[in-house]
Amino acid sequence: MNGAALSRWTMAYFAAAFGLLIVAEALMACGYGFPAVAVEAPETLVLVHVTAIGWLSLLMCGALFQFVPVLVGQPLRGRRLVLPALLCLLAGLACLLAGFLSLSGVVEIGFPVLGCAAVLLAVGFALVATALARTLWSARRTGLPMPARFVAVGLACLAAAVLLGAVFALTFAGLLPTTDVVGWGLPAHAVAGFGGWLTFTAVGVSYRLLPMFMLAPETERATTRLAWWSGGVALFLAVLAAPAERALSGSDTSLAIAGLLGCVALACYGADLVFFYRRRKRRAIELNSRSAVGAFACLCLTAVLAVAMAVMGEAARHVGALVFLAAYGWLGGLGLSQLYKIVPFLTWLECYGPVMGRKPTPRVQDLVVERRDGPWFILYFAAVLGGAAALLAGRPELFRLAAVAMLTATAAIGLELVLARRLFNVAREKRLPEGTVRPHLFFAAQR
């Protein structure tokens, strides 16, 4: 990956995502949304969509624009779509949040702002999917590697989640006939978004990033193929078959089978993770890979709790705690841990890649100070576990304290990423050798 391969606007996606993560954690620390109000309340919907679209989806989009070309060995198709997609997504999210605030009675808006949100978000995600799908399609003759196949399934789930979300928004805006769309569509919307678009795609990207950063074997294993097949079938059953079955017969057989297949996929993914960590050539594990273990542990804990609560019939009562643990422990924790490597890595490529071999340059690790930053990741994951425990115990005041700790840790990690981007930790004599320039904070320079 050289300077020409850098995605120009990836850092802008990361910055917007990180800013909205801070907003979400600040809202939780102030007691806004669940658990102070019901899970289905408009205030909770604000919090959920700031997290799902603002933090996690923007983070995923920015990462995919950079790494999908690496997965398939082809340049990104439709580069001009990247910035308009970001603008549409931010504008659409703003309209969506304004619509939820209107539903809660905080503001009065005289036009169907939720309808605008549906259009803008659909256009934004369509631009994202078009650029990424074209890039994947360009590699069809040589065959898609397994990580890219995970991404392809994730994009299909994104389309389903956006379509259902648009139907919800247009219904709430009064632009579509009122039906029981939420009753049959909400579970599919959540599974397609969190389970397919975010989790399945994150799994696929991690199959490439973890071996790359740990120098582990990248061989395609039987467990990897089984994880893809079982996970893909589970998503199909949960997103398409289960709503149809529930509407026709009221049965949940498809959903139960999807749950079993999802557990198989997670078990195979766990086996592959153990393989990567045990077979790595880089014996000293860097902080991003060590902290990712916390995210994988949260994923495992989420699955175990979900199964246990489903067996006990308590899943509906504790769905908020499960979503919180999955969103902030698994997906958010993985995002923060990999950002800690990706941002310095891309910064190094942009600044020092053009003079590599011709001028003395620092190492990627020199852009951060792991000994100083490690405690922030410990605090973050401890706070997430504490917050989940507080939700399970019905203690909203303890949840707010956990959110304050999360906010503190996240702000500290964000500051470290800014320092890395500005080359603050690099020794002055090595910081800017002749032929290099300091990278911009929010976008990569064109070469």
The full set of domain ranges for the chain reads 303-441
Please tell me the pTM assigned to this model: 0.95
Query: What's the rounded Cα separation, in Å, for the pair 32 and 44?
Result: 8
In degrees, to the nearest 5, what angle opens at C-alpha 87 toward C-alphas 105 and 188?
Answer: 60
CA neighbor of 278 nearest in space, from 293, 298, 300, 294: 293
Helices marked H in 9-57: 10-29, 42-49
Structure tokens at 7: 């995605």
Per DSSP, what are the bridge partners of residue 345? none
pLDDT tens for the chain, 447 residues long, are 443 478 889 999 999 999 999 999 999 999 999 999 988 899 999 999 999 999 999 999 999 999 999 999 899 998 999 999 999 999 999 999 999 999 888 877 777 899 999 999 999 999 999 999 999 999 888 888 999 999 999 999 999 999 999 998 888 877 777 666 666 788 899 999 999 999 999 999 999 989 988 888 887 899 999 999 999 999 999 999 988 888 777 778 898 999 999 999 999 999 999 999 999 888 888 999 999 999 999 999 999 999 999 888 888 889 999 999 999 999 999 999 999 999 999 999 988 888 887 888 888 999 999 999 999 999 999 999 999 999 999 999 999 999 999 999 999 999 999 999 999 999 888 888 877 788 888 888 765
Query: In whole angstroms, how far apart are CA 429 and each of 69, 334, 359, 361?
Result: 34, 34, 12, 10
Q: Quick check: helix, strand or coil at residue 356?
A: strand
Of residues 82, 92, 28, the one with CA closest to residue 54: 92
Residues 6+ away with beta carbon under 8 Å from 66: 6, 7, 10, 342, 346
* Residue 310 CB neighbour total at 10 angstroms: 14
Partner residues linked to 174 by β-bridges = none
- For residues 272 and 221, is the Cβ–Cβ distance under 8 A? yes
